[in-house]
Amino acid sequence: MARLLSCSLLVLASLCLVHTRPYHEEKHRALLRSGYVYFPGGGYYRLAYKTPVVWAEARRNCQQEGATLAVVNSEKEADNLRSLYLNNGPVKRERDGGWSDSYDTNVLAESTVDPIPTPTPDVPTPTPAPANATIHIGFHDIFIEGEYLTVRNEPLIMAGFIRWKVGYPIADDEHNCGGFDTGKFILDNPCDVKLPYVCEIPEVY
Ligand SMILES: *[C@@H]1O[C@H](CO)[C@@H](O)[C@H](O)[C@H]1NC(C)=O
């Protein structure tokens, strides 16, 4: 019994160590309240999808809340954005009352669907969903065609994640604004297309 107790104490102690929050506790809670999702080691992200906007407006909206349009710096961060969209996006299961958003009418949302899993007795079959969608993220080549900069003013090649979707980038005057396909690709969209977007507040160590 004593051994079990000391064992549990040890487990508790290490859990506490692991869960020390690097960001100010109050700020952390305020961000969660305002719709940010925390990814340990990554930072805070807020997905805005209910009112798609053009890229410049997405950028401004993020700035106004002390964030930036998300910059993808690693494979891990691409994973974060993907799961943010899957878990906090417009996808609604049948048990939640079906679709509550019309995002699938968006021109850039893909209409293809994930294969429907084999139904089991206690799990309702999910409503087919647009599997991967496109959102605005923080890079562009507005100034010089083909010279991609992040919204933090660094060259995109320094950012750490470049995986163009097949057919991209598109070298013309229209496709100058950064997008992220939640299948984990980047692309350059026309700047005036209205899309969901993700604001990011990096974690402060
Ligand atoms: C969505 O993205 C994932 C990851 O890249 C990919 O495996 C899947 O095939 C994509 N789904 C569709 C319908 O394109």
Alpha carbons 45 and 59: distance in angstroms, whole number: 14
The answer to whether 140 and 177 have CB atoms below 8 angstroms apart is yes
Domains of the chain, earliest start first: 42-110+121-202 (3.10.100.10)
> For ligand 1, which residues put their CB under 6 angstroms from it?
110, 112, 131-132, 183-184
Average pLDDT over residues 148-171: 96
Mean pLDDT of the chain: 81
Q: How confident is the model at residue 129 (pLDDT cuts 50, 70, 90)?
A: low
The answer to whether 72 and 161 have CB atoms below 8 angstroms apart is yes
Please determine, for residue 106, whether its predicted confidence score (pLDDT) is greater than 50.
no
Sort residue 122 into left (φ over 0), alpha (ψ -120 to 50) or beta. Answer: alpha
Residue 165 CB: number of other CB atoms within 10 A? 17
Which residues are bridge partners to 94 per DSSP? Answer: none
CA of 110 to the centre of ligand 1 (A): 10
**Which of 132, 161, 165 has most ligand 1 atoms within 8 Å of CB, for mutation?**
132
Alpha carbons 131 and 184: distance in angstroms, whole number: 12
Helix (H) or strand (E) holding 37: strand 37-39
Residue nearest to atom 6 of ligand 1 (CA): 183
Residue 130, pLDDT score: 55
Name the token pair of 2: 């004593």
pLDDT, tens digit (0-9, with 9 covering 90-100), for 17-49:
455 555 688 999 999 999 999 999 889 999 999
